[in-house]
Amino acid sequence: MTEFSKLGYRELLAQREALEKQIAEVSKVERAGVIEDILDKMALFEIKPEDLEPRRGRGPRKQSGPVAPKYRDPVSGATWSGRGRAPLWMADQDRDKFLIGD
């Protein structure tokens, strides 16, 4: 018979509760040290919180912002950058005729 089979269900639950309390206490103490260590390393390597945000690619983060228009509707004057879904005024037409010249 194993040690656990000698204990009843209630005793095992009580042991689990005591262990969970111990785990929470130790975690709280160790967590503070880990956070301090992380902050020290962030300061040493000049890492900012925004540097920790997940990235899709492996390269340096690219700045996104407004993109210059590439196409113009000669009738309405509306423009489109060429990104995303094409506007209705271009639907089923040759895009080259809407290109904005340099």
Q: What is the DSSP string of 35-97?
A: HHHHHHHHHHTT--GGGGS--SSSSPPPP-------EE-TTT--EE-S-SSPPGGGTTS-GGG
User: Is the pLDDT assigned to residue 1 strictly greater than 60?
Assistant: no
Spatial contact of 47 and 40, defined as CB atoms under 8 Å apart: no
Does 76 or 55 have the greater pLDDT score? 76
Q: What is the mean pLDDT of the chain?
A: 87
The whole domain housing 91 covers 67-102
- Asked whether residue 47 falls in the same domain as residue 21, the answer is yes
User: Is the pLDDT assigned to residue 17 strictly greater than 80?
Assistant: yes
Average pLDDT of span 28-45? 93
Q: Which of left, alpha, beta for 68 (phi over 0: left; psi -120 to 50: alpha)?
A: beta
- Asked whether residue 47 falls in the same domain as residue 83, the answer is no
